[in-house]
Amino acid sequence: MTFEELDLSNQLQYAIDDLGFNAPTPIQQQAFSVVRSGKDVVGIAQTGTGKTFAYMLPILRDLKYSTQKHPRVLVLVPTRELVLQVVDEIEKLAKYINVRVLGVYGGANINTQKQAILQGQDIIVATPGRLYDLGLSNALKLKSIQKLVIDEVDVMLDLGFRFQLMNIFDILPERRQNVLFSATMTEDVDALIYDFFKKPEKISVAVSGTPLDNIEQVSYNVPNFFTKVNLLNHFLEDKQEFNKVLVFVSFKRTADMLFKELEEVFGSETCVIHSNKTQNYRIRSIRQFDEGNNRILVATDVMARGLDFDNVSHVINFDTPDFPENYMHRIGRTGRAEKAGKTILFSTEKEQEGKLEIEALMNYKIPVLELPETVEISKLLTEDERPKEDADQSKNRTGLEYVPGPAFHEKSEKNSKTNQGGSYRREIAKKYKKPKTRGDKNYNKRNKK
């Protein structure tokens, strides 16, 4: 099927032609007529399969021109970066349509966002927290919302947004179309659908654990962090092969450590994003990587979830993720739009269990390759990798010198006093001649005489 067979408007078809797309992805093809029908929709598809276009094409197809100020379509996404990306995608599709789109998110001036809302909007793309704040302040009127889209809902629930989502449902009109898209179907997602959706039609294109056919996967068993750094540097030295590399780590602290190591070797070719970075820093890093100004982007799972980067040559899993589903989201950053992609997984001995869970989810054994001979096996360990010392033992003594003493000892005589109650207080009063009446200066003077 081609886009021309989807019954798009001429304006949407012109925009699709400008973008150079010929055929819709399976999720786009299956979702188009269902979303247009007005039914509640639940779409389950792997990351990188074009879910944003899957819900926006049918919505824009039927969104009529209007001069009303209050928005008719609400799109909720988990992170600020996704707000910017979705707004950008909508603007590309609406190139020849008169549609007003606004993205709102935390970390930006709320008064500026209120002023933009008052000018009139058709589509609002928002993070749950900022949307709820705007709704409570009456700056954003939600009673005119006809369609609610919740994208990357599994991440939203993982980030603790369930309470805010329920509050948002309370201030939305009951008669609306709900559209939900997710890469995984968890128990929390299922509960949300049961509570708030009315007989939704489900579209499932691929099981979350199915590896994408166009992505080549390999792995390396690596002893420690600094050997991982050496192996990564070995790959990144080949700038022609590794021309746009997304490096995933599990923690913000690891991201900063790795960025510091890479920056010493590759300088301005490297950038990093995680939730502790400022909004402007994160936006700048994403833009520079996407535009090719930075060749290497170090990112945590939450920050890069759902982000669409063009032509990523390699995804390198510097850490093996604890949750196997996260591996699927990571590798989905390459091989997008049915292009070939490559991923590499690094695993220490402690991470082997996580690797087995990934392979069980995919029902696929990731090939293990030998470390290149030129890669140095580092003996240097991070603080987390060092063996834990006996907490009682001084670091200035050897194990032979140190002999731990008894856990308790007898109190010295002067510290062996007991609570004698009122008699004790009377003895102290006699000794120091305390006044019978507190603050009686005359009594104090008489006693001194």
Taking only the tens place, the pLDDT of each residue in 366-409 is 999 999 999 999 999 888 888 865 444 445 544 444 455 555 55
User: Residue 248: beta bridge partners?
Assistant: 299, 317
Say which range, 25-39, 58-72, 273-287, 309-323, has the weakest mean pLDDT.
273-287
Q: Any long-range contacts for 6-14 (C-beta under 8 Å, 24+ apart)?
A: 6/32, 6/57, 7/61, 8/57, 8/61, 9/61, 9/97, 10/96, 11/95, 11/96, 11/97, 12/57, 12/60, 12/61, 12/93, 12/96, 12/97, 14/95, 14/96
* CATH topology identical between 3-204 and 215-362: yes
What is the amino acid identity at position 344? I
Q: Where are the domains of the chain?
A: 3-204, 215-362
pLDDT digits (tens, 9 = 90+) for 154-167: 878 877 788 888 88
Highest-confidence segment of 47-51, 72-76, 105-109, 162-166: 72-76
Task: For residue 430, report the phi and psi dihedrals to the nearest 5 degrees.
Answer: -65, -40
Residue 297's Cβ-side half-sphere holds a number of Cα atoms within 13 Å equal to: 31
- Mapping DSSP to helix (H, G, I), strand (E, B) and coil, where does residue 342 land? strand
d(CA 382, CA 389): 14
Strands (E), 289-429: 296-300, 314-317, 341-347
Q: For the structural domain made of 3-204, what CATH number should be given?
A: 3.40.50.300
Contact assessment for residue 327 and residue 321, using Cβ atoms and an 8 Å cutoff? yes
Average pLDDT over residues 93-105: 94
Q: In the prediction, which pLDDT does 88 show?
A: 93
75 vs 431: which has the higher pLDDT: 75
pLDDT digits (tens, 9 = 90+) for 172-184: 998 899 999 887 7
Q: In the prediction, which pLDDT does 194 show?
A: 84
Q: In the prediction, which pLDDT does 401 show?
A: 46
Average pLDDT over residues 14-42: 92
At the fourth CATH level, the homologous superfamily of domain 215-362 is P-loop containing nucleotide triphosphate hydrolases (3.40.50.300)
pLDDT digits (tens, 9 = 90+) for 1-14: 788 888 899 999 99
Q: Which residues contact 198 (CB under 8 A, 6 or more apart)?
A: 40, 178
What is the amino acid identity at position 317? N
How long, in residues, is the chain? 449
Arithmetic mean of pLDDT over the chain: 84
